Amino acid sequence: MLIDAFAENWFDTLCQRAAELPPSRRMYLLLDGAFVPGLHTRLRKECKAILFEELPGCTKEAEDVSPFLTPFERHEAVLKRLLISCNRWPMVSAIETPESLEQLAARLSVWCLVDAAGQRFNFRFPDTRRLSHIFEMLSPEQRAQISGPANYWSYIGRNGRWHGFELPGYDASIAAAPTLDESQFSLLVSDSAADEMLVLLADRGMKVFQHPSRSHALLVVALQTAQTVKLPDDELLDWCVWYWRQDCLHDSSDSLSMLQAWRTKRSRRN
């Protein structure tokens, strides 16, 4: 499991937001099927839009790991059970928009595969660990194209609670062929560094996923500190393991002092 357990009131909060929507807007759930393959099969065909279906050569296997959309219905028991299956996975967003299910699916599906610095790239925007950073990284025109007339996009973040951002409700057409430049692609890669380090620590037996949001915050500091001093690659993993084990978040000056002390002690031991 990659994020903290969903907050106790997560479903009630979602129902409240849906109840307050004006008649001109609807709420759609965007779920990243890669984390719970085949989840979409619990929904009737007319109640979902599978984003990979719009891509050429889509297979049943691809559909089962595809992001998909479904209208949020507060009193639908099947939907609540489906969402409970998403607990502790970074896969749940809610989009408030006047667009129909078909219109929103057409808008989002073109972003599933993008051209990134000259290569086809699986743009994992439904992964809620990436979402806020993605919106910061996109240009204003790209943000308009991906969100269109939506006025709010919320998601369950690393701490298991709802987060979100207001959107101005852009009058923007669907993107023809989304493209990320080299600087945008580089920002995406750097944003995933702490999550990649979490996997390496887990492979070493560290229980990093007992409290994922805490572990991630610790590794973000460790990696930023390592980058500041240009720590050699062959020292990076051991430093991150050591810093994670301290389980104490510090500001940049304290973490730099800790890194220097760790390197001094390590060199003496060697």
The rounded distance, in Å, linking the Cα atoms of 12 and 121 is 36
pLDDT in tens, 150-182: 999 999 999 999 999 999 998 899 999 899 999
In a domain, 4, yes or no: no
Instruction: Based on the fold, state whether residues 41 and 115 are members of the same structural domain.
Output: yes
Instruction: Based on the fold, state whether residues 98 and 170 are members of the same structural domain.
Output: yes
Instruction: Based on the fold, state whether residues 26 and 59 are members of the same structural domain.
Output: yes
Of the candidates 138, 246, 252, 258, which has an alpha carbon nearest to the alpha carbon of residue 187? 138
- Model-level pTM? 0.93
Alpha-helical regions (H) of 85-232 = 101-109, 131-137, 140-147, 182-191, 193-203, 212-229
Instruction: Based on the fold, state whether residues 16 and 141 are members of the same structural domain.
Output: yes
Of the candidates 95, 107, 115, 112, which has an alpha carbon nearest to the alpha carbon of residue 181? 115
pLDDT in tens, 181-232: 999 999 998 999 999 999 999 999 999 999 999 999 999 999 999 999 999 9
Rg (CA), the chain: 20
Number of domains within the chain: 2
Cβ 88 vs Cβ 2: under 8 Å: yes
How many residues comprise the chain? Answer: 270
